[in-house]
Structure 1
Amino acid sequence: MKKITVIGSGTMGNGIAHTFAQHGFEVALVDVNPDTLAKAVQTIAGNLERQVKKGIIDDQQKTNTLKHITTFTDLKTAVVDADLVIEAATENRDIKLNLFKQLSDYCKDGTILASNTSSISITQIAAVTKNPGNVIGMHFMNPVPVMKLVEVIRGYATTDAVTQTIMDLSRQLDKDPVEVNDYPGFVANRILMPMINEAIYTLYEGVAGVEEIDTVMKLGMAHPMGPLQLADFIGLDVCLAILNVLYNGFGNPKYAPCPLLVNMVAAGHKGAKSGSGFYKYTAGSKDLVVAYKFKQK
């Protein structure tokens, strides 16, 4: 595999593009918005500069990595010669299904189609394509250049050969791939999201405040980040979407999103990316300031 196309230039998309380009792959980064693409390249350049300052790479490696990335706004042009396409679009089932229908028409027969989805069924995504055996999940963790895990999700029809190819490819990126089967939430989010949801319920029910809940989990459970701060970092809208997938997939009320989470997302408080969630986020500041104050129901 030499030519990789990444669809979506947000946080996950630009991180995936960065990682592949840094390991010598030719990367086509696609987004419908040219301004978003320009911002993504700036983000990648800034992250590479931080790697230079930390001694992880040198200036020449930074230059070479950026040379490996080409941006596109036209999907068909970007994927026509791709060996692997990785979709990192919004965590929305309909958007993903529509994209994979198009990819099935635009790509070569042998192209592997991967989704970076954190919860949506790979089997359902594959079912809208002409070659469902070539469809697989590659769930990277944020920040992609740093985090070692790739959750490799086999759909019902995914072939052994495609699975092995993606496992091997992940290792070429210096990642540690883990193969899992296609059930709602896979492994990572099936375990993580109920914990985050329970932390939100703990806040909602007035058991403790934001900082208190996060401190208990950091100091008592050795978590590097408290669950409420982590929810902000993931995106509260993304957490809500994943919990809805779990709830609808299993039909178990233990996965029902906390009403507080639903209300916060409806009000536009989506975490770090919106500037406010359980904490407030100010550009250039590393100080955590609590944004949510408990209100008696």
Structure 2
Amino acid sequence: MPWLPTPREPLLRVAVTGGTHGNEMSGVYLARHWLQCPEELRRPSFSAIPILANPEASAACSRYVGQDLNRSFTSAVLTSRATSNDPYEVTRARELNQWLGPKASGQAFDFILDLHNTTANMRACILANSDCCAFAMHMCHYLQLQNPELPCHVIHYQSGETFSLQSVAKMGLSLELGPQPQGVLQADIFSQMRALVASSLDFIELFNQGTGFPAFEMEVYRHCGEEDFPRTEAGDLAGIVHPQLQDQDFEPLQPGAPIFQLFSGEEVLYQGDRTVYPMFINEAAYYEKHMAFMKTEKTSILVPALPPLPAAAPIQTP
């Protein structure tokens, strides 16, 4: 897959979005804090805009009120004619697209950093729509170097048309931190997310000021499928995640290893033909999506150097 062109001008239009899912509390409360104290997101060459992405779901402390906002940024949704029956998140997706996009246009924001929590034992993860954006991969690498005490897995989680909020901008990443229960705010997760956002903005500032970054090799996890729970003929759960798999996100899962325990006590073994690395194991939000865990393949990629901006590139101080 060819690498996308790297930016040749400073990144000046940057947004940090929280509360895309209204019960993922770190992003909700960081967005609310920054709306009151925006100076925390300011850097000498730019100022990131804080956005509470889904205000109604955040007020209700619910993932969404109509449909998943982070699945609503497809071209079909964004370009369809508005009706009185549209779910709130469809209307909100169009509003955000007009504000931060339009998607896939030259007028779109330079970068969106979208903040999420998971109930799974994922620790800190950086989710990218693609691992062929050298700028985004260099930011991931910078976050790993600046936060060595915090495991930061890099995930390429989607192929085909993008549907997430971050995809509205020219470039973007999602931060996913856990485990944290839905509707709960935890000090350690909150602080880790805040530190990762600060490092992300610092990286953009370094780039804007003319810093170049050398090529490097990095480990990434590429989404390669999902596994549903065992179910009855009526569609109800027939078992649970096996104790040996629970909380083992990003650990190798070998063919023949137990993945579920039926309510009858029998074990269900993994029937795949190769080792995978599961993530989002027993994620609370994915029960409705019929997903017990996602499967990934671990690989290494060589990321090309990120050249410094041309000396003549103007920087407009906000």
Kindly indicate which of the two structures has a greater share of residues assigned to helix: 1
Kindly indicate which of the two structures has a greater share of residues assigned to strand: 2
TM interval, shorter chain, is 0.3 to 0.5
Greater relative contact order, per chain length (Cα 8 Å cut-off, separation 6+) = 2
